[in-house]
Amino acid sequence: MTDDVADFDDHVIITKPKNRNVVIISEKEFQSWKETFYLLGTEANRKNLDESLNQLK
């Protein structure tokens, strides 16, 4: 199971009682999420990213 998660950037949801579910993702995916949260973590960063995207268009 965990090899598939790592090899194919898949995920596994483990359901538990009382909605205490857990999600298993690859470390690569986890690092990607952390970077995204960091980049979007401030209003200034979001505005700069939006401006850059608009310039690309």
Determine the pLDDT at residue 23.
96
Q: Where are any strands of DSSP class E within the chain?
A: 11-14, 22-25
How confident is the model at residue 9, as a pLDDT?
A: 86
Which distant-in-sequence residues (6+ apart) come within 8 Å of 13 by Cβ? Answer: 21, 22, 23
State the total domains in the chain.
1
If residue 45 lies in a helix (H) or strand (E), which one and from where to where? Answer: helix 43-56
Range of the domain at 22: 2-56
The encoded tokens of residue 32 equal 């990607």
The residue written with tokens 């790592």 in the block is: 6
Q: Which pLDDT belongs to residue 44?
A: 94
Q: What pLDDT is attached to residue 16?
A: 97
Angstrom distance (rounded) from CA 15 to CA 42: 33
pLDDT tens profile 1-57: 889 899 998 999 999 999 999 999 999 999 999 999 998 999 999 999 999 999 999
